[in-house]
Structure 1
Amino acid sequence: MSYNYELLIIGAGSGGLAAAKRAAAYDINVAVVEKESLGGTCVNRGCIPKKLMVYAADFALQDQLATSYGWSECQRQINWSQFLSKVHHHIDKLNQSYLQTLEEAGIDPIFVIGDCTNRIPLTPVAIAEGQAVVDTAIGNQPQSVNYDSVPSAVFTRPEAATVGMTQSKALQKFGDSVRCYRTEFKPMLYSLSEQDEKVMIKLIAEGENQRIVGAQMVGEHAADIIQTLAVAIRQGVNKQELNATICIHPTIGEEVLTLE
């Protein structure tokens, strides 16, 4: 059997799948090379199962906090076999969805081993890179990926997230024009509890107009808040513009907009 393809994609992880689907939109013959399950590390061993496990752990944390709000104590145990079975079932459904999507797009899978990425090891970055490659090579629309303000998070409890420059990197690049704004407080969720839970938010600004070049946060909703700030940083928003924005009260996010 002969195979005639205009594009061969090695690896069906996040980047490979994004490139394949983008290439199919250009109406060319595409093949995806992958020995293991579709979706790569993110779907099968990383992002998805990791976040599901964090969600499972949250129920135990909520039980500890519930008594502070008047709920009676209860003793619950997790059935790990049942939980892991559900996780694997969910991942299998995702893989089936990928197979169906590739077939509907006219993309033929060839089962071989493949993995070749060495930039920022994050799923959204891989997706952006895959799309940029296809747009440049096939669509005649040259694209590049901006790696300067890529947000990232650690899905522990509490969450931690960052985007842009850290304080030390900003000082190295801009020197004495850097100014840091930092706050630490107890989130409202724990206001009735004796638990000493904290949220930390830090903004790094530079220059006379105090352009925001970085942000870090540890605490509840850190990932969602920081990835929203990524848009502001890419657009060159300054500290005064953040402070002039009317916030939603009471929220953790308002602390970013009122930080002094």
Structure 2
Amino acid sequence: MAFDYDLFVIGAGSGGLAASKRAAAYGAKVAIAEADLVGGTCVIRGCVPKKLMVYASQFSHLYHDAEGYGWSAVKPEFDWAKLVQTINQEVLRLSSLHISFLEKNHVELIPSFAKFLDAHTLEVGDRKVTAERILIAVGGEAIKPDLVGIEHAVTSREMFHLPQFPKRFAVIGGGYIGVEFAGIMNGLGAKVTQIIRDTHILRGFDLDIRNSIQTGMTNHGIHFHTGIDAPSLQITKGEDGLTIAFLDGDRNPQSLTVDTVLAATGRKPNLDKLNLEVVGVEIVKGAIAVKPDSSTSQPHIYAVGDCTDRINLTPVAIAEGRAFADTVFGHTPRLMSHRGVASAVFSQPEAATVGLTESEALAQYGDSVKVYRSQFRPMFHSLTGADEKTLMKLVVVGEEERLLGIHMVGKDAAEIIQGMAIVLNMGGKKKDLDATIGIHPSAAEEFVTMR
């Protein structure tokens, strides 16, 4: 059977773009369908615009910190509309750049939604196309919890386009998205409250990391309601704003009124409109089930990125997409390893981590686990008077003290842990760090001088 395309990619996000360009470079005839801006969640409404907002929010602290270094006090003014406009311009620039990359690589872009008609046929807008192989790379989307009045809340999708800056801001949820936006809005001048079910934010991260970030956020003025009874929470809209009512951990009624509520309680794979049931692609717990080579239950249909719910990070989706293209079209079989993937939370204070948490290491290796931990005031704040702390932590195992986990909270944590991830993934040991001469004075040198 003759097909219109060797490869058809559904979704022009990080994974789909990476796979399509590499497959085309191997000589495949490739098309990619995208009904939204090209670039996916990361470029349009995720890591890129959010990191720009993080940068914007940090200037408020720098104005105050400068006074400790002899600069005179200033009264800065912040323009929310200007920030939103400039970030949107950058998003559009990046989206256009990705389109140009597709053109240079001879990948056909079809600006429409695609859904399956049969195993090799797709409906794309008003067209029907066939493909020998199909890659699903549709990512995920924010979801709202089933709570009374939740229709009044926004998700991360809307945060980049709020028409007015909310002076009173509440976050429901303790995951990394909620934590990052809490820090952003606090830094930009809002009164921020974060409401979570657990006692600590960032479930799944190392407990020392969770404690350190939450303490830092509290010191920055963010107020936490922890251990709440989630089903009791409800939102009502009134003349003065949105009122959130709930029961706290002691079953006492609480309420607060804000201008904007962010529902940051999770995301799900964006599969609803793909018509996957007609081709028998297996779905497990709402995500596409894939083998290590990213193939699905249908051998010619593959899936990468957040829609598979493996590790939902942009670099992971890119690596999965490239590994797929190398294997299928480059005839160089390889698998993308999901072990030892570093990640960061652009909270304030910032955090980054790679490898096992302390509790995970203890569960796997028991008493042979040892922990090195250091907490100190960063040199920058020796003159500012700010109550800031940097935390660094090594989790090792056995007499050889092989590195299992490396964790940090503090300025430039992501930049530092990126390099430390190489050490961990090479099977490095504590003695390898000890034998390395540090750069002085720097925070990073603490990892090679820790005792």
TM bracket (short chain)? over 0.9
Residue of structure 2 in register with 1:205 after alignment: 396
CA shift, 1:27, in A, is 1.4
Contact 2:24 2:107 in 1 (8 A): yes
Amino acid of the residue matched to residue 14 of structure 1?
Answer: S
Secondary structure of 2:68 counterpart: helix
Amino acid of the residue matched to residue 44 of structure 1?
Answer: I
CA shift, 1:107, in A, is 0.5
- Which of residues 211, 214, 235 is equivalent to 2:426? 235
User: How many residues get paired?
Assistant: 259
Residue of structure 1 in register with 2:43 after alignment: 43
Question: How high is the TM-score relative to the length of structure 1?
Answer: 0.97
Provide the rounded CA distance (Å) in 1 between the counterparts of 2:77 and 2:54: 16
Query: What aligned pairs does 1:1-260 form with structure 2 within 5 A after superposition?
Result: 4-110=4-110, 111-113=112-114, 114-115=138-139, 116-260=307-451
Provide the rounded CA distance (Å) in 2 between the counterparts of 1:117 and 1:91: 25
Provide the rounded CA distance (Å) in 1 between the counterparts of 2:79 and 2:3: 48
Provide the rounded CA distance (Å) in 1 between the counterparts of 2:375 and 2:419: 20
CA shift, 1:3, in A, is 7.3
Provide the rounded CA distance (Å) in 1 between the counterparts of 2:386 and 2:378: 11
Contact 2:10 2:33 in 1 (8 A): yes
Quick check: which one's strand share is greater?
A: 2
1:120-169 Cα distance to aligned partner (Å, 9 max, x none):
11000000000011111111111111111111111011101111000111
Contact 2:369 2:397 in 1 (8 A): yes
Contact 2:66 2:384 in 1 (8 A): no
Amino acid of the residue matched to residue 149 of structure 1?
Answer: G
1:79-124 Cα distance to aligned partner (Å, 9 max, x none):
1111111100001011111111111111001221544332111000
Provide the rounded CA distance (Å) in 1 between the counterparts of 2:57 and 2:370: 37
Question: How high is the TM-score relative to the length of structure 2?
Answer: 0.56
Provide the rounded CA distance (Å) in 2 between the counterparts of 1:157 and 1:236: 31
Amino acid of the residue matched to residue 13 of structure 2?
Answer: G
Secondary structure of 2:363 counterpart: helix
CA shift, 1:193, in A, is 2.1
**Structure 2 residue runs without a partner (length 5+):** 115-137, 140-306
1:18-53 Cα distance to aligned partner (Å, 9 max, x none):
111111110110011211111111000000011000
CA shift, 1:175, in A, is 1.2
Provide the rounded CA distance (Å) in 2 between the counterparts of 1:143 and 1:31: 23
Secondary structure of 1:96 counterpart: helix
Query: Once structures 1 and 2 are overlaid, which stretch shifts more, 161-170 or 3-12?
Result: 3-12
Q: Which has the larger radius of gyration?
A: 2
Provide the rounded CA distance (Å) in 1 between the counterparts of 2:331 and 2:54: 42
Amino acid of the residue matched to residue 80 of structure 1?
Answer: W
Provide the rounded CA distance (Å) in 1 between the counterparts of 2:3 and 2:32: 12
**Structure 1 residue runs without a partner (length 5+):** none
Provide the rounded CA distance (Å) in 2 between the counterparts of 1:196 and 1:82: 31
CA shift, 1:207, in A, is 1.4
Quick check: which one's helix share is greater?
A: 1
Query: Once structures 1 and 2 are overlaid, which stretch shifts more, 76-85 or 233-242?
Result: 76-85
Superposed structure 1 runs of 4+ greater than 2 Å apart: 113-117
Provide the rounded CA distance (Å) in 2 between the counterparts of 1:83 and 1:3: 47
Provide the rounded CA distance (Å) in 1 between the counterparts of 2:6 and 2:79: 49
Provide the rounded CA distance (Å) in 1 between the counterparts of 2:399 and 2:9: 47
Contact 2:9 2:33 in 1 (8 A): yes
Secondary structure of 2:392 counterpart: strand
